[in-house]
Every structure is written in structure tokens, then in C-alpha cells.
Amino acid sequence: MSTPPRQKRLTPADILALKGNCPVVSLTAYTTPMARLLDPHCDFLLVGDSLGMVLYGMDTTVGVTMEMMIAHGQAVMRGVSRACVIIDMPFGSYQESKEQAFRSAARIMKETGCDGVKLEGGAEMAETVAFLVERGIPVLGHVGLMPQQVNTSGGYRSKGHSEKEADKIRRDARAIDEAGAFAIVIEGTVEPLARDISGSVSAATIGIGASPACDGQILVSDDMLGLFNDFKPRFVKHYAELAQVISKAAEDYAGEVRTRAFPGPEHTFQPRPKS
């Protein structure tokens, strides 16, 4: 009996080829079980450094380490069979030099088997992006609101309201596009500007708090699933309210444990009958 052919996962080139044809679907994933659930529905999964805030309770993404990104990247890779997987390069792992960026990106790809890396930055990172792409590392860019720069950019606020700021974001996107990024995340950027950028670059644009005209969209999965009732940015839509479901399940469990209703006989192991 012949073995069925193994399904081929999507590549960065496949993501780029969707530009102008079909909107790209993307979500974040940090664990194997979540990756398995999201994989059939997404074109690419991002192992985002947002895991620092979502999983570890950090205030920003700045404290995320290479070891954290690699560990979660390995976990996600164990759960995918279809989606392209991109892993964020954490703060401090690529800004020093293009050589440092290559060493970090190569380590991530070798130790996880992922399909590419993401880094934040505009014109100042264009040389680094080109350096990586020329050496076989697919790059997902990131312009607009850049969480790793929160300490110098005045916090988490939407970008592009002034012409000066909008012009910078346009130049940043153009520089990253010309450097060879296969796609560019546009985050927290006023809608007309994000729409304009999407129509002017050859890379696929992935919006988050940007424009429906972007070539695709991404959300943090935990936001999309309604796991954080106390925090809902304007650009997030809850497709479920799992925080309430989990809280109610924990309440029911606690009640049954305290009244000794759980575990019942069906949940325990009884001695085998003696022969």
C-alpha cells in the first residue's frame, strides 16, 4: 500500500503570489495545540513576540528573548501541515548590524525549521533586509506602529495623522519593499495611508489596525478569541468570547470539587475483578 503524499506547506513566495488575487489570512500562534487548530484556516501563522505580553504578562515586547522565540517557534512547527510559519526576531537580536541580524535569523530558521523571519523597522533596516534576502532568508517587514520601539515612539498610538509622519511611513514601506521583503505588516496606521501603501508596493501588505484594502489581515489570536475582556483595541473584533467560557468552566469545576461531585465513579479507576 502506497503512502499518501505529504501535503506541501505554503511558502513566502506563495504568500506574495496571493497579492491582488486572494486576501491573505494570518493569525498569531505560540503553541502546538493552537497551531493545529489554526493551521487549516490560515495562509501563514506568525510566532509573534507579542507572546511576551500574551503568555508571559510583560508590559511590552522588549523583554522577549531569542530562546523564547525559538522554543515557541518549535512548538508551532510541530502543529502545522499547511500554513507558512514566520517567526519574529526579538528586540536586540538584529538592530546592531546586518551581520548580527543574519546570525540571529539563521539560528531561528535552523533551530525551528520555519519559513522566514519578521523584523520591525523602515528605511533604517532596508540594508539589513536586503542582506538577509540575498542570503536566502525570507523577510516579513513591519512598518507603522512598531511595538519594539514603544519606548521612543510615545506609546501605543495610531500613526500617520500628520503629513510628516505619513510621509515617513510611506518611505519606510517603500524602502522595505525595494529591499526584497515578501510582505509587510502595516500596523496601527490611518486607513487612507495604509490603502495608499498597499497599492504602491510590490510586497503583500498585511494589515492590523490599517485598511481592508491591505492584501491580507492579521490579529493576535487571543484577542480574536476574546481571551482578554479587559483589553480590546479598536482594530480587534472578537469572534468568540472564550474568557467567559473559561471562567464559567473553572467556576463549575471548582463547585463540583468542593461538593465532591467530581470526580464521579466514571472518572476513577476501579480494581479489576479477581479471576
Is position 49 annotated in a ligand binding site? yes
Reported as a single tens digit per residue, the pLDDT across 184-195 is: 999 999 999 999
- As a whole number of angstroms, the distance between CA 71 and CA 253 comes to 31
Is position 67 annotated in a ligand binding site? no
- As a whole number of angstroms, the distance between CA 111 and CA 71 comes to 9
Is position 178 annotated in a ligand binding site? no
- As a whole number of angstroms, the distance between CA 15 and CA 172 comes to 21
Other CB atoms within a 10 A radius of the CB of residue 267 amount to 7
Higher model confidence: residue 141 or residue 231? 141
Determine whether 251 is an active site residue: no
Does the pLDDT of residue 5 top 90, yes or no? Answer: no
Is position 252 annotated in a ligand binding site? no
What pLDDT score was predicted for residue 149? 85
The active-site residue, picked from 165, 187, 251, 266, is: 187
Q: What is the DSSP letter of 123?
A: G
- As a whole number of angstroms, the distance between CA 127 and CA 144 comes to 18
Q: Average per-residue pLDDT in the chain?
A: 94
- As a whole number of angstroms, the distance between CA 73 and CA 111 comes to 9
Reported as a single tens digit per residue, the pLDDT across 51-76 is: 999 999 999 999 999 999 999 999 99
All structural domains of the chain, each given as residue ranges with its CATH number in brackets, are 12-267 (3.20.20.60)
**Count of residues in the chain:** 275
Is position 88 annotated in a ligand binding site? yes
In terms of Cβ atoms closer than 10 Å to its own Cβ (0-12, 13-18, 19+), residue 238 is middle
CB contact set of 222 (below 8 Å; sequence gap of 6+): 28, 54, 228
Q: What is the pTM of this model?
A: 0.93
Does the pLDDT of residue 29 top 90, yes or no? Answer: yes
Reported as a single tens digit per residue, the pLDDT across 164-207 is: 999 999 999 999 999 999 999 999 999 999 999 999 999 999 99
